[in-house]
Amino acid sequence: MTRVRRVLAPNPGPFTLEGTNTWVIGDRPSIVIDPGPDDPGHLLSVVDEGEPVGAILLTHRHPDHAPGAARLAEATAAPVYAFRPEGDERPIRHNQVLEVGGASVRAVHTPGHTADHLAFFLEEDRALFTGDAVLGRGTSVVDPPDGDMIAYLHSLNEMRGLGPRTIYPGHGPAVFDAVAKLDQYAAHRLRREEQVIEALAGGKGTAAEMVPGIYGEEVTGPMQPVAARSVLAHLLKLEREGKVARSGAVDHFVLVEQKPCARCGRLAAPRSRYCRQCSMDMLQEGPRRGEETGPAVR
Ligand SMILES: [Zn+2]
Ligand SMILES: [Zn+2]
């Protein structure tokens, strides 16, 4: 087993739980994931734990994860890797494997929380470092437009496909049943989507209107606008899938009524008389007798 240590950054808050987890993997040299905020005391603890450091990896550029990278790189002379590098940082791509001090870490592009989000998979131990894509407690924030619910659900699936055993999240405690956690996260999002559809069916049109009914007592005061962003992320997903449309105002949504296909009776595609399959078939067949619209020439 590769040694994994957590150094907790002193930035607790409603989004960061106890603070940001800076993960130190392996020895001589070690890998550091997410140096956290630019806090000299915290970075000193990271150096103490990780020296010598061989590589610094960023899950994404949010201010609770990335700003410490420059100071840590200066103190350790280790390169910084990011999906969207800045300055002297190096790029790291989806599926790229870094070998450092006997550990192999695979970068996994996991957009959804942010477009540039990476998870890191420590292959020999099936340990997944999830940044803000999966937290040790509670749920991840998906805030459009950088946050994207379709991409997020795809990323949950991608992470599950790795067959991870342990999750080391960006915030909160480590999770020792990784697949169950990923399933729970996906089920939570599907449940939320159902609640959004129910709210639309009940006549609610904007994300803000839907929050009290969906979240109830769970979310109050300053967290309400955050919950509304998450509901909006679901609405934008449903809009792209053709299940909802905007009506009147830009932030007002309605369910798109779905009718049976006029040809086969299955559910028709949104705003169409036919299902997708029949539309395709008819395009390939060309107009059939009786469906011709122009004057018949005999
Ligand atoms: Zn974040
Ligand atoms: Zn975070």
Distance 211 CA to ligand 2 centre (A): 23
Asked whether the beta carbons of 234 and 193 are under 8 A apart, the reply is yes
Q: Which ligand is nearest to the CA of 17?
A: 2
**How many Å apart are CA 69 and CA 57, to the nearest integer?**
8
| All residues at 6 or more sequence positions from 46 whose CB lies less than 8 Å from its CB, including other chains | 7, 22, 24, 32, 35, 53, 68, 72
Digit-by-digit pLDDT tens for the chain (298 residues) are 899 999 999 999 988 999 999 999 999 999 999 999 999 999 999 999 999 999 999 999 999 999 999 999 999 999 999 999 999 999 999 999 999 998 999 999 999 999 999 999 999 999 999 999 999 999 999 999 999 999 999 999 999 999 999 999 999 999 999 999 999 999 999 999 999 999 999 999 999 999 999 998 878 888 889 999 999 999 999 999 999 999 888 899 999 987 788 899 887 876 778 888 999 999 888 765 555 555 544 4
Distance 20 CA to ligand 2 centre (A): 6
The model scores a pTM over 0.85: yes
* Tokens 């996994």 belong to residue: 108
Ligand 2 center–CA 174 separation, angstroms = 15
C-alpha 74 to ligand 1 mean position (Å): 24
Ligand nearest to the backbone CA of 14: 2
CA–centroid distance, residue 84 to ligand 2 (Å) = 17
Cα of 115 from ligand 1 centre, angstroms: 11
**Å from CA of 268 to ligand 2 middle:** 41
- Ligand 1 center to 145 CA (angstroms): 14
Distance in Å, CA 58 to ligand 2 centroid: 11
Q: How many Cβ atoms from other residues are within 10 Å of residue 67's Cβ? A: 15
259 and 247 Cβ atoms separated by less than 8 Å = no
